[in-house]
Amino acid sequence: MSNVTVVMAQIDPVVGDLAGNTDKMLAAAEAALAQLQADVVVFPEMALTGYPPEDILLRPGLYPQVQQQLERLCAARLPLAMVVGYPMEDALGERFNMAAWIEHGEFAASYIKQHLPNYGPFDEKRYFSPGSQPTVVDYKGIRFGLLICEDVWKPTAVEKVAAAGAEVILNLNASPFHAEKHGDRLRVASRRIDEFGVPIIYVNQVGGQDELVFDGGSFAMDAAGQVQVQAPEFRPALVPVTLQHGPNGVQILAGQLSPLLDGEARLYEALVLGTRDFIEKNGLPGVVLGLSGGIDSALTLAIAVDALGAERVEAVMMPFRYTSQESINLATRQAEMLDVAYEILPIEAGFEGMTQVLAPRLPEIEGVTEENLQARLRGVTLMAISNASGKLVLSTSNKSESAVGYSTLYGDMVGGFAPLKDVLKTQVYALARYRNGLSPAIPEGVITRPPSAELRPDQKDEDSLPPYEILDRIIQGYVVEQKTPAELIAKNIDAKMVERAINLINSNEYKRRQAPPGIRVSPRSFGRDRRYPITSRYREPI
Ligand SMILES: Nc1ncnc2c1ncn2[C@@H]1O[C@H](COP(=O)(O)OP(=O)(O)OC[C@H]2O[C@@H]([n+]3cccc(C(=O)O)c3)[C@H](O)[C@@H]2O)[C@@H](O)[C@H]1O
Ligand SMILES: Nc1ncnc2c1ncn2[C@@H]1O[C@H](COP(=O)(O)OP(=O)(O)OP(=O)(O)O)[C@@H](O)[C@H]1O
Ligand SMILES: NC(=O)CC[C@H](N)C(=O)O
């Protein structure tokens, strides 16, 4: 019996662009036929609408358009089978997350997703009803079982499709990135193969969508749990998987093994892709940010340049009386290193103006009022440039600061997108070092100086906050891993620091609700992964 070629079409669908996504699928299928002699081409979950389409799924106008595009896929009558993810609404108004098997232009079979994820960033029970039946398609002598993403994360759907005779599973995914996700996927797939003995071809989408980054990384795992084919991460790809009938069922032949990234390299790529796609898919001309000579704005600038190219990035240093010459020098040096448009715009005159405006009500502007006024004048300045140029303001906030509210509402929290939103301060340093290892992008002095908001004389972050090494352990433990205060203290973290940090985390939810969106890179980000009340008296014993 001859071999059968399944092409993993790791594409980058754009949410809501049904016609564009269909064009992409037709182009990918044609290329898979012409270049790879594909028999089957598998697209990601919900490739027709992009994922997650959120409340677009509740628009009645969506479903006729889905039908139209499915008809286009059939009308192309390509001589292969296409497996396509799409949403469907039935006559009773129930909606389903589906996969279509389109064989030589005929809509030959379909499958309804059985396990609907409703945790973390997922909301599928808001939209869909689950299916209950397996789908197995006999094609070119092989029995293909269809499953959709979460279906392989639990045993039931895999058990059913194996019992229905599937010899290989085609798993359509929209599986967003976090730093440990690829390892989780491999473990889950290998466990299911262990339990039910059916190899899995796992096809993921790639690209940024608002707060989510899809990393691709599609793979084919054989009946022994070995990855025989590995697609690259963070870019679209068409990767062939060769199937052969052997004495022990279907074999997956060894194929392309794209190298995988890890650690900071993987995290950095996710941040660059998430930033680029947010700007590109929203049709924005470029970005502008406040460059302070500190590490957060320095790393954000490097990411922006890697994402968009220096010519689309602008940096502004806005000194005030507390800004050190070293900060100005470091900001200027980085702007030169990266060759971005750069301006020094002092905010002193703005501060004087505000002093006069406020004089009848506030004769003295001091303390936190003075600190925040500086941050807000910088925000106003950046927004003026944004309005005049159309460039989006990048917020430089990181996860450690937003955890404890160490930022100013309508000040340094302005912006349309926050690349570092889910990155802890200790990771910011590691990423800066990693990035400089590729080529010089951040002056060494920015990395080695102690962090300071420079909003009052000699201010250092660690005067107000626990040292970042400790704060980040608390955030990681309390927010990401859901540990109790007692568990944190048992890990040798000072009880007073634990108590203070947890109080700050919980009392600053109000600020986070007003923060710009940013890229999710951890298993639990602030935002949809962690929905906390602003008004709350809940406490846990210390
Ligand atoms: N539950 C609640 N819901 C809604 N609003 C609430 C609230 N509780 C207080 N508020 C309001 O929030 C306001 C306070 O917030 P806000 O004006 O932002 O200011 P606030 O949190 O008081 O001060 C900002 C702090 O962040 C520091 N900072 C600023 C800028 C940059 C950095 C850095 O290193 O990156 C650090 C700065 O040194 C200062 O200590 C109050 O006026 C209060 O009315
Ligand atoms: N003098 C400045 N010129 C331009 N932008 C500034 C200036 N000071 C602060 N900002 C902006 O406000 C953000 C918050 O900066 P701040 O210095 O208060 O603390 P930070 O969070 O440690 O940031 P960074 O590490 O970038 O300094 C900065 O990242 C930057 O975008
Ligand atoms: N779309 C989905 O079903 C995603 C859920 C799945 N566990 C994942 O993130 O990989």
Label each residue of 292-358 as H, E or C.
Answer: CCCHHHHHHHHHHHHHHCHHHEEEEECCCCCCCHHHHHHHHHHHHHHCCEEEECCCHHHHHHHHHHH
Residue nearest to atom 20 of ligand 1 (CA): 408
Per residue in 170-181, pLDDT tens?
999 999 999 999
Distance from C-alpha of 201 to C-alpha of 450, rounded to nearest angstrom = 48
Q: Are residues 162 and 269 in the same domain?
A: no
Q: Are residues 199 and 305 in the same domain?
A: no
Is residue 296 in contact with ligand 2, taking CB distance under 6 Å?
A: yes
Question: Token pair 């634990």 is at which residue?
Answer: 498
Q: Given this model, what pLDDT does residue 144 score? A: 98
Question: Token pair 């944190």 is at which residue?
Answer: 488
Is residue 395 in contact with ligand 2, taking CB distance under 6 Å?
A: no
CATH number at residue 28: 3.60.110.10
* 537 located within any domain: no
Is residue 291 in contact with ligand 2, taking CB distance under 6 Å?
A: yes
* 457 located within any domain: yes
Task: Return the ligand number nearest the Cα of 507.
Answer: 1
Distance from C-alpha of 374 to C-alpha of 360, rounded to nearest angstrom = 20
Q: Pairing state of beta strands 135-139 and 142-148?
A: antiparallel
* 516 located within any domain: no
Distance from C-alpha of 344 to C-alpha of 290, rounded to nearest angstrom = 10
The answer on pLDDT for 386 being more than 80 is: yes
The answer on pLDDT for 521 being more than 70 is: yes
268 in a known ligand binding site:
no
Q: Region 495-521: what's the mean pLDDT?
A: 97
> How many domains does the chain divide into?
2
Is residue 534 in contact with ligand 1, taking CB distance under 6 Å?
A: yes
The answer on pLDDT for 406 being more than 80 is: yes
Q: Given this model, what pLDDT does residue 2 score? A: 86
Q: Region 444-465: what's the mean pLDDT?
A: 85
Q: Which two tokens stand for residue 345?
A: 């715009």
pLDDT band for 514, please (50, 70, 90 cuts): very high
Q: Given this model, what pLDDT does residue 492 score? A: 94
Q: Region 22-29: what's the mean pLDDT?
A: 98
* 282 located within any domain: yes
Q: Given this model, what pLDDT does residue 81 score? A: 98
Of the residues 441, 462, 483, which one is the last residue of a structural domain?
Answer: 462
* 133 located within any domain: yes
Distance from C-alpha of 184 to C-alpha of 165, rounded to nearest angstrom = 26
* 33 located within any domain: yes
Of the residues 462, 478, 499, which one is the last residue of a structural domain?
Answer: 462
**Separation of 110 CA from ligand 3 center, angstroms?**
20
Q: Region 395-421: what's the mean pLDDT?
A: 97
The answer on pLDDT for 248 being more than 80 is: no
Q: Are residues 184 and 311 in the same domain?
A: no
Q: Given this model, what pLDDT does residue 456 score? A: 84
CB 79 within 8 A of CB 33: yes
Q: Given this model, what pLDDT does residue 461 score? A: 76
Q: Are residues 284 and 201 in the same domain?
A: no
Residue nearest to atom 31 of ligand 1 (CA): 407
* 512 located within any domain: no
The answer on pLDDT for 221 being more than 80 is: yes
Q: Given this model, what pLDDT does residue 327 score? A: 97
Which residue, 191, 139, 187, 133, is CA-closest to 167? 139
Q: Are residues 229 and 284 in the same domain?
A: no
396 in a known ligand binding site:
yes
Q: Are residues 75 and 138 in the same domain?
A: yes
181 in a known ligand binding site:
yes
Task: Return the ligand number nearest the Cα of 325.
Answer: 2
Q: Are residues 321 and 254 in the same domain?
A: no
Q: Given this model, what pLDDT does residue 528 score? A: 87
Q: Region 109-119: what's the mean pLDDT?
A: 98
For 481, which DSSP code? S
CA angle 442, 448, 451 (to 5 degrees): 95
Distance, CA of 493 to chain centre = 30
175 in a known ligand binding site:
yes
Is residue 5 in contact with ligand 2, taking CB distance under 6 Å?
A: no
Q: Are residues 232 and 357 in the same domain?
A: no
CATH number at residue 299: 3.40.50.620
The answer on pLDDT for 143 being more than 80 is: yes
Q: Which atom of ligand 2 is nearest to the CA of 295?
A: 25
Percent of the chain with pLDDT over 90: 94
CA angle 410, 411, 414 (to 5 degrees): 65
- Per 3-state DSSP, the chain is made up of helix, strand and coil in percentages (nearest 5) of 40, 20, 40
Is residue 130 in contact with ligand 3, taking CB distance under 6 Å?
A: no
Q: Which two tokens stand for residue 69?
A: 């595009």
The answer on pLDDT for 463 being more than 80 is: no
* 474 located within any domain: no
Q: Region 15-36: what's the mean pLDDT?
A: 98
Q: Are residues 39 and 76 in the same domain?
A: yes
Of the residues 228, 259, 290, which one is the last residue of a structural domain?
Answer: 259
Q: Are residues 217 and 134 in the same domain?
A: yes
User: ipTM of this predicted complex?
Assistant: 0.92
The answer on pLDDT for 480 being more than 80 is: yes
225 in a known ligand binding site:
no
Contacts of 81 (CB under 8 A, 6+ apart): 39, 40, 41, 101, 102, 103, 104, 108, 137, 139
The answer on pLDDT for 225 being more than 90 is: yes
The answer on pLDDT for 46 being more than 90 is: yes
Residue nearest to atom 20 of ligand 2 (CA): 453
Residue nearest to atom 9 of ligand 3 (CA): 175
Count each helix (H run) and each strand (E run) in the chain, helices first: 18, 19
Q: Are residues 269 and 253 in the same domain?
A: no
The answer on pLDDT for 1 being more than 80 is: no
Half-sphere exposure of 52 (CA within 13 A, CB side): 23
Per residue in 527-540, pLDDT tens?
889 999 999 999 99
Residue nearest to atom 10 of ligand 2 (CA): 292
Q: What is the pTM of this model?
A: 0.97
Residue 229: CB atoms within 10 A of its CB come to: 24
Q: Are residues 165 and 297 in the same domain?
A: no
Task: Return the ligand number nearest the Cα of 116.
Answer: 3
Per residue in 330-381, pLDDT tens?
999 999 999 999 999 999 999 999 999 999 999 999 999 999 999 999 999 9
- Domain hosting residue 381, numbered range: 265-462
pLDDT band for 205, please (50, 70, 90 cuts): very high
The answer on pLDDT for 459 being more than 90 is: no
C-alpha separations of 106 from 22, 42, 76, 138, 449 in Å? 16, 16, 10, 14, 64
